[in-house]
Amino acid sequence: MNDAPDWREYYREMEKSSPLLIRYPLCGGGEECITACPYGESIWAVKPMKVSLFGVREKVRLRPVMVNPGLCRNCQLCVEACPTGALRPVDNPVKHPFLTLAYNTLRLPFKGKYNVKFVFRKEHVERFRKNNGLEV
């Protein structure tokens, strides 16, 4: 795991080949995007990369990666489901990470389908813990 790539390598790859971009230091790793995607695990996988959690303490963590971007229909359900704003369309990426995280955290209780209840579903809490190296 120590030879895991830096998150920027995945980011640069997404810039070239995907309709979406993930600003990985903002990603919590709860896999809400994969749950929301109609094609789920046909498009997404979780992979190890060196990345911080919300800008704190970089280490190897598991994060969603688009392994089959060609299957994506660009419906943006995953973008809507992302609780932190890390996941964005490639032509509108995160420009101000701190503001993006603050804005998305504040709006979470008011989001329709993908609100706090969705984020704290048992499966997402378990994936958050697993993908951040915490005990399940």
Name the site residues for ligand SF4 (rule: CB under 6 A): 36-39, 43, 72-78
Query: Residue 17 or residue 74: which is nearer to ligand SF4 going by CB?
Result: 74
CB of 72: closest distance to ligand SF4 in angstroms?
A: 3
Q: Could you give the 3-state DSSP secondary structure of residue 61?
A: strand
Residue reference for tokens 């932190």: 84
Between CA 21 and CA 2 the distance in angstroms is 24
Query: Residue 38 or residue 55: which is nearer to ligand SF4 going by CB?
Result: 38
Beta bridge partners of 62: 48
Q: Could you give the 3-state DSSP secondary structure of residue 60?
A: strand
CB of 45: closest distance to ligand SF4 in angstroms?
A: 12
Query: Residue 38 or residue 133: which is nearer to ligand SF4 going by CB?
Result: 38
The residues, ordered by sequence, that sit 6+ positions from 53 with a Cβ below 8 Å of its Cβ are: 25, 28, 29, 61, 132
Query: Residue 35 or residue 100: which is nearer to ligand SF4 going by CB?
Result: 35
CB of 22: closest distance to ligand SF4 in angstroms?
A: 11
